């Protein structure tokens, strides 16, 4: 039996080792892990995000999440009616609570929002507008609204989201995008 590895096997082995290393780096309970992770993994963050290893989850103390929530995609039509667009799926996986897919959207839209607001948010809004287009009604506005609530101390019930923040307005006919802080762009 040949004991030498082919180039393909070596590359695959390096990738697997790097992937497992990055998984441990992401889950390591550092007190200020975010800054350290960015320093150590900085040049590879784009690739790690692409393969699904990079995340901003605070898995361990001392900095657990302080809020929970969801995101609504409000569509206003040319006849003045407004409704919330929901993804085709209600559940992220079998056995999940209803609207778990909406929570998935919330995390996806808000993680690394600084990088996403110029490209992914307007693209998602344009996609939603196309999905809501019909022969009788045409979308005029797509608005992303963040709904969240502060997580109470252990032992208290988790409240329903009671804070609401407009993240982005997308004017469908003109392609004008207004980010929550007033930044305006045409997408």
Question: What does the pLDDT read at residue 125?
Answer: 87
**3 prior amide bond cis, ω within 30:** no
Within the chain, how many helices (H) and strands (E) appear? 6, 6
| Spatial CA neighbour of 87 closest among 131, 28, 144, 123 | 131
Clarify whether residues 134 and 174 are in a common domain.
yes
Based on the structure, what is the number of domains in the chain? 2
Q: Rg of the Cα trace of the chain?
A: 21
Residue with the two structure tokens 């997580």: 151
Q: What is the pLDDT of residues 97-141, one digit of tens each?
A: 666 666 666 666 666 666 666 677 788 888 899 999 999 999 999
- Domain span at residue 97? 67-186
Q: Residue 24 region, left (φ>0) first, then alpha (ψ -120 to 50), else beta?
A: alpha
| Spatial CA neighbour of 146 closest among 120, 124, 162, 165 | 165
Q: Is 101 among the domain residues? A: yes
Clarify whether residues 100 and 12 are in a common domain.
no
Q: What is the pLDDT of residues 41-82, one digit of tens each?
A: 777 777 777 776 666 555 555 566 677 777 888 999 999 999
The winner for highest mean pLDDT among 74-78, 156-160, 162-166 is: 74-78
Q: Is 1 among the domain residues? A: no
Q: Is the dihedral of CA 103, 104, 109, 115 positive or negative?
A: positive
Clarify whether residues 151 and 78 are in a common domain.
yes
Is residue 65 within 8 A of residue 58, CB to CB? The reply is yes
Strands 139-150 and 67-77: antiparallel
Clarify whether residues 98 and 30 are in a common domain.
no
Predicted TM-score (pTM) of the model is: 0.60
Q: Is the dihedral of CA 171, 175, 177, 183 positive or negative?
A: negative
Is residue 18 within 8 A of residue 54, CB to CB? The reply is no
């Amino acid at each position: 039996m040949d004991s030498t590895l082919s180039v393909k096997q070596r590359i695959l082995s390096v990738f697997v080792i790097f992937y497992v290393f990055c998984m441990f780096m992401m889950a390591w309970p550092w007190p200020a892990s975010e800054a350290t992770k960015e320093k150590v993994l900085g040049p590879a963050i784009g690739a790690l995000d692409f393969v699904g290893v990079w995340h901003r989850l605070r898995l361990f103390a001392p900095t657990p999440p302080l809020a929970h929530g969801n995101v609504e995609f409000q569509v206003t039509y040319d006849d003045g009616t407004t409704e919330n667009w929901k993804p085709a799926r209600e559940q992220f996986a079998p056995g999940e609570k209803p609207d778990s897919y909406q929570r998935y959207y919330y995390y996806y839209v808000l993680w690394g929002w600084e990088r996403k607001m110029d490209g992914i948010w307007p693209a998602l809004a344009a996609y939603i507008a196309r999905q809501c287009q019909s022969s009788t009604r045409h979308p005029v506005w797509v608005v992303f609204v963040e709904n969240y609530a502060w997580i109470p101390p252990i032992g208290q019930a988790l409240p329903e989201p009671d804070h609401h923040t407009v993240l982005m307005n997308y004017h469908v006919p003109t392609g004008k995008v207004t980010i929550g802080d007033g930044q305006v762009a045409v997408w």
